[in-house]
Amino acid sequence: MSEIFPDPINPADYDTQLTEKKDRLNTLFAEFAPPTLEVYDSPRSHYRLRAEFRLWHEGERCFYAMFEPGNRSKAYEVREFNIASTLINDLMGRLLAEIHASELLRRSLFQVEFLTTLSGDALITIIYHKKLDEAWETEARAMQARLGFPVIGRSRKQKIVLERDYVTETLTVDGKQFHYRQIEGGFTQPNGDVNQKMLSWARSASEGIGGDLVELYCGNGNFSVALAEKFDRVLGTEISKTSVNAAQVNITDNNLDNLIIARLSSEEFVQALRGEREFHRLKSQDIDLSSYNFRTVLVDPPRAGLDDESVQQISEYDNIIYVSCNPETLHANLMELCKTHEITRFAMFDQFPYTHHIETGVTLKRRKNVSTEITQQNAQ
């Protein structure tokens, strides 16, 4: 018999773990003398909008399974998952009952993924070690109707979308509603409540700057959509075609006329901005980079942070909004950026409670007379 997976959270411990993270950030960034750390906490439970589980089989019975870190020899049964949204917890039981009732749906099923939203939408992906045929699709469609949410079936080189492969999220930020299409398999912020706080912080940091904004690594436009009204024009760059397509939908759904998403990597954007290369993708969208007055850049890079060339590129902007999921790589990037800029806002967003992961936000403003300072440094 399987053992029950232990509850990974204890809400009574939340304030202690939050204080530990605050102390860690303040110590790590002390050398930059940043302003007072702004702390944005998380709901104590049911905060995660995504979850995935192995489906473990014991004879005719199966269950959601998780493993101890670094040890996959023993599967623990997951009956409820207090980290995940209440909707995920509800769907876990309902989906499992459907699977137990159908040998066709249960056979060779090995993984289940849930994607939910604060606004009550959900998407369920079930993944198999077998080819999915018409009989499976008929049975899965009947299950989808009973569950009331769309289902996707996946197996090797197969993706069967029974209705749609996305959810629609509505976030409320500063009393305004923003609508987002979030694609199955694409990146989304896992903690919706904290994401709303993060967007509000970024909007506040953008007040009064003016000019145009460029966002690198913009994904589905999470930040660009919420910040569009704060700038004259916004250009987002993203290399993933799927994310770009979702962002285009989000531009339309939010009735924005000053936001454009270009399918370029950050490196390609720099080449285009400097006139080193021409890109048909820019011409096809009638994007003239020379017409923009970019005064602010926003970056939310992966855990590896920014490479040296990207750091050099964003240092050329007067204002930088940098959101990081890795304090160590942010610290390394700030070692260079603080040669030309000073930190004006310093924030912690507890996207991942009860873990060591920390989401950090800083805003930087170009220091006065920085050109003179650099010239003197070079002379030395």
Give the catalytic positions in this structure.
Answer: 325, 359
Phi, psi of 60 (to 5 degrees): -85, -5
- Distance, CA of 136 to CA of 154 (rounded, Å): 11
Q: What angle do CA 75, 61, 90 make, to 5 degrees?
A: 80
Contact 24, 327 (CB under 8 A): yes
Q: Which of 67, 185, 57, 50 is nearest to 109 (CA)?
A: 57
Coil/strand/helix, residue 77: strand
What HEC string does 262-294 produce? ECCCHHHHHHHHCCCCCCHHHHHCCCCHHHCCE
Coil/strand/helix, residue 217: coil
Burial class (CB in 10 A: 0-12, 13-18, 19+), 276: exposed
Q: What angle do CA 164, 153, 107 make, to 5 degrees?
A: 155
- Distance, CA of 83 to CA of 9 (rounded, Å): 7
Coil/strand/helix, residue 326: coil
- Residue found under tokens 């030309």: 340
Q: Which residues contact 31 (CB under 8 A, 6 or more apart)?
A: none
Q: Please, which residues bridge with residue 259 across strands? A: 234
Q: Tokens for 35?
A: 């302003």
Q: Tokens for 47?
A: 């905060």
DSSP 8-state symbol, 337? H
- Distance, CA of 380 to CA of 371 (rounded, Å): 14
